[in-house]
Amino acid sequence: MTARWFSAAADDELTIFERSKPGRRAFAPPELDVPERPLDELLPASRRRAQPPRLPEVAEPEIVRHYNRLSKRNFDLDTGFYPLGSCTMKYNPKLHERVAALPGHAKLHPLQDPARAQGALLLMWRLQEALAEISGLPHVSLQPSAGSHGELTGVLLTRAFHEDRGERRTKVLTPDTAHGTNPATVTMAGYEVVKVGTDEHGNVDLEDLRAKATEDVACLMLTNPSTLGLFETGIEEIERIVHGVGATLYYDGANLNAIMGICRPGDMGFDIVHFNLHKSFTQPHGGGGPGAGPVAVADRIEPFLPRPQVVRRESAPANGAGRVHYDLDYDRPKSIGRLRGFQGNYGVFVRAYAYIRSLGASGLREVSEVAVLNANYLLARLRRAGVLEYLPAAYDRLCMHEFALSGAPMKRELQIKTLDLAKRLLDHGVHPPTVYFPLIVDEALLIEPTETETRETLDRFAELVVQILREARGDPELARQAPHSTPVRRLDEAAAARRPVVRQAL
């Protein structure tokens, strides 16, 4: 058991509401500088609440201490290795926080006249151009708020595209390896999900795809590299099959970090792509957001993109040269409409743009090269250390930026499950990989080291897994009861779901 990285003060477990005492306060209001009018005159009693909301009553020092202590009960990416597969937990550059906080960005009102928000619109336009180049698809909407929101946008774009051609299609194909957001999105967009299988090499089963790609299929949603961390070697044939029945090909950009500057979804024949700016483009994950999920599309999908669209306009030449300005274009008669308020998560765009500007073309390519190098190196290290005897690779191939292992032999031979291994890692100050996903791998463990980790960190992780397996051979209970050194130990999730307590009784 290693050093505690968290706070263990005795009263850590109190909530901010439990720290409350009547009469304490942190807020001092500004002066009332206008003539005071009776409340009843301004707001009829019938529309007022009977008593003030029971918010905490705590002075500033205690609020700050409370949340600082809470923070120390979180594990974070700046403290330790976080190889959480499919989440791309790469370093979030500090510069981005500084530039996003500049008042010209942070205090810009979303309804400001576009003529007075030219810096923001130029930034958005340049980001659109960069994302178009990276994806190989020419038109970009920055509006969606996260990956799953981008997915919903993409499927609604598909619907609009087909309806415009007078076609009514009812099904969307998703591989059995897909993120849960894919099938959930399909349902939410009003289609029926049809699952496509995976072949013995970890690729989409082309026979199954051919059988299921019928004329009533609207779209295939594909993650490439897949959630197994494998590049679809049959992507060219997949493209022919899907387009052959008039369906669109949708690229889930969750794994874009593997291929930036190496190959492009547009060149593979994808019609619609979403990006996770909180994965490949370093927006901090924030413990569950914010993110952003822009989409890029082919020419034939462009008319349907959400409103408004950031555009570059050139005004009539005066004295020889036209004046360029940037604007929000609402005049898009075939648009699917809005998917959210205002123009999107602009603060996220600032960070993503700063990242692209910092790295440039060769830097982005290097990101993907090192992400893939690190993943393959870690896989090789684990293999050399004998770990794969207990945790074999789900598919014996070179991987891309992540790889899936199966803990089934470990469970059988060492009597510890993937969950136990994950929980034991917590005692060593390492965030576990993604567990029990992809669903098609028994006792799955999905490991994504990312490009920002050093070789030494990868070596240490490999040694740590060896150590845990060795320890389990002697005493499996250590892992089964793990974690031992965290602020709380294993929590009763079943009880929480059976009788949900989702707020504090006040």
Residue 197 Cβ, how far from other proteins at the closest point, in Å?
A: 15
Of 380, 374, 368, 469, give the one whose Cα is nearest residue 416: 469
Among 81, 83, 141, 152, interactor with other proteins by CB under 8 A: 152
Q: Looking only at residues 85 through 104 of this chain, which bind other proteins when binding is defined by CB under 8 A?
A: 87, 89-93, 95, 97-104
Positions 11 through 50 that interact with other proteins (CB under 8 A): 13, 15-17, 20, 24-27, 29-30, 32-37, 39, 42-44, 46-50
Q: Is 116 among the residues that bind other proteins (CB under 8 A)?
A: yes
CB nearer to other proteins: pick between 87 and 209: 87
Query: What is the 3 state secondary structure string of 449-474?
Result: CCCCCCHHHHHHHHHHHHHHHHHHHH
Query: Can you tell me whether residue 434 is helix, strand or coil?
Result: strand
Q: Between 234 and 263, how does the x/- string for binding to other proteins read (CB under 8 A)?
A: -xx----------------------xxxxx
Q: Is 435 left (phi over 0), alpha (psi -120 to 50) or beta?
A: beta
For residue 385 the two structure tokens come to 């250390």
The 259-288 site mask, x for binding other proteins (CB under 8 A), equals xxxxxx--xx-------x-x-----xxxxx
DSSP 143-205: ---SHHHHHHHHHHHHHHHHHHTT----EEEEETTS-THHHHHHHHTT-EEEEE-B-TTSSB-
Tokens of 394: 């789900």
**If binding is defined by CB under 8 A, does position 341 make contact with other proteins?**
yes
The binder of other proteins chosen from 134, 247, 421, 468 (CB under 8 A)? 134
Q: Which of 2, 200, 362, 474 binds other proteins (CB under 8 A)?
A: 362
- 193-232 residues near other proteins, rule: CB under 8 A: 193, 230-231
Rounded distance, CA 246 to CA 167, Å? Answer: 10
3-state DSSP assignment of residue 99: helix
Minimum separation from the CB atom of position 57 to other proteins (A): 5
Residue number, 195 or 473, with CB nearest to other proteins: 195
405 binds other proteins (CB under 8 A): no
Residues within window 477-506 making contact with other proteins, judged by CB under 8 A: 481, 483, 486-493, 495-497, 500-504, 506
- Residue 138 sits in the site that holds other proteins (CB under 8 A): no
The answer to whether residue 372 forms part of the interface with other proteins (CB under 8 A) is yes
Helix or strand or coil: residue 217? strand
196 phi and psi, to 5 degrees? -110, 140
Binder of other proteins out of 137, 155, 173, 249 (CB under 8 A) = 155
Binding mask 159-178 for other proteins (x = CB under 8 A): x-------------------
Least Å from the CB of residue 301 to other proteins: 15
387 binds other proteins (CB under 8 A): no
Whole-number Cα distances in Å, 117 to 106, 307, 343: 12, 18, 12
- The answer to whether residue 449 forms part of the interface with other proteins (CB under 8 A) is no
Question: Is residue 107 a contact residue for other proteins (CB under 8 A)?
Answer: yes
To the nearest whole angstrom, how small is the minimum distance from the Cβ of residue 137 to other proteins? 13
Nearer to other proteins among residue 30 and residue 320 (C-beta) = 30
> Which one of 60, 215, 314, 463 is in contact with other proteins (CB under 8 A)?
60
Say whether 418 sits in a helix, a strand or coil.
helix
Task: Report how far apart, in Å, the C-alpha atoms of 266 and of each of 106, 218, 399 are.
Answer: 33, 18, 22
* Sheet containing 403-406, strands listed edge to edge, beginning at the edge strand earlier in sequence: 403-406, 444-447, 434-435
What character string, x for contact with other proteins (CB under 8 A) and - otherwise, covers 288-327? Answer: xxxxx-------------xx--------------------
Burial 20-43 (b: 16+ CB within 10 A, else e): beeeeeeeeeeeeeeeeeeeeeee
Is 105 one of the binding residues for other proteins (CB under 8 A)? yes
Take residue 226 and report the two structure tokens written for it: 């897949």
Decide if residue 392 touches other proteins (CB under 8 A).
Answer: no
- Size of residue set near other proteins by CB under 8 A: 206
Q: Which amino acid is at 148?
A: S
